């Protein structure tokens, strides 16, 4: 079995960093999250019941996320969702299979695959997070247009990405953007360098 590697392990030591820590922009690589890609029919009662039984969540509405106790389901399309969880993906898949109804008919077709090693994730926060992301993204990420709980597929710095706005870890007196970005891990170094150079564009 292949060993799991962190998103920035491929960077050479001279360029490797644990975080971009600036009062205006903080970027943290995500190292404790597993990803599952679910594909199926949102109206399939078997799929909806299984999601609720295993995760305690409902499938989110378009361009939304469902969140509960450290697990999130992101809407990616009419028949596709990304599950973020701190539970090991292998254990989640086992729970998923254990939660299956043995009498379910084959008409309830859906698939679940472990994508943990396919993506690199980054948390961005701080008063400049919105401006930095919008400098390389066509989406309006201002709070009025992209409030907490929104999720979308887009391109950032010419890299296909999934972006969503989770609830801040702790409330602050002055609101600042908090975004989570997922992208193909082969683009991790490019995206990290683009973020690290962002102060020069302010």
Task: Determine which helix (DSSP H) or strand (DSSP E) holds 153, and give its type and residue range.
Answer: strand 151-156
CATH 3.30.70.1290 fits 20-32+118-201, yes or no: no
pLDDT tens-digit profile of 33-66? Answer: 999 999 999 999 888 988 888 889 999 999 999 9
CATH number of 34-114: 3.30.70.1520
Alpha-carbon 111 to chain mean position: 19
Read off the pLDDT of each residue in 90-114 and give the average, rounded to a whole number.
63
User: For 195-201, what is the mean pLDDT?
Assistant: 80
User: Domains of the chain: which residue ranges?
Assistant: 20-32+118-201, 34-114
Task: Name the 3-class secondary structure at 159.
Answer: strand
pLDDT digits over 120-162, tens only? Answer: 999 999 999 999 999 999 999 999 999 999 999 999 999 999 9
Q: What whole-number distance in Å separates Cα of residue 202 and Cα of residue 103?
A: 59
Helix H or strand E encompassing 98: helix 89-98
């Amino acid at each position: 079995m292949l060993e799991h590697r962190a998103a920035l392990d491929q960077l050479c030591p001279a360029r490797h960093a644990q975080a971009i820590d600036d009062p205006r922009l903080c970027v943290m690589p995500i190292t404790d999250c597993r990803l599952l890609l679910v594909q199926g029919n949102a109206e399939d009662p078997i799929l909806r019941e299984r999601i609720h039984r295993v995760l305690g969540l409902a499938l989110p509405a378009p361009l939304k996320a469902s969140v509960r106790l450290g697990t999130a389901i992101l809407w990616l399309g009419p028949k596709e969702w990304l599950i973020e969880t701190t539970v090991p993906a292998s254990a989640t898949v086992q729970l998923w299979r254990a939660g299956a109804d043995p009498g379910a008919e084959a008409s309830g077709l859906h698939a679940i695959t472990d994508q943990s090693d396919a993506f690199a994730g980054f948390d961005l926060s701080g008063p400049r997070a919105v401006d930095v992301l919008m400098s390389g993204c066509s989406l309006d990420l201002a709070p009025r247009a992209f409030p907490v709980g929104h999720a979308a597929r887009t391109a950032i710095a010419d890299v296909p990405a999934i972006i969503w706005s989770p609830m801040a870890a702790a409330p602050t007196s002055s609101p600042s953007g908090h975004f989570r970005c997922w992208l193909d891990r082969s683009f991790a170094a490019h995206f990290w360098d683009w973020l690290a150079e962002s102060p020069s564009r302010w």
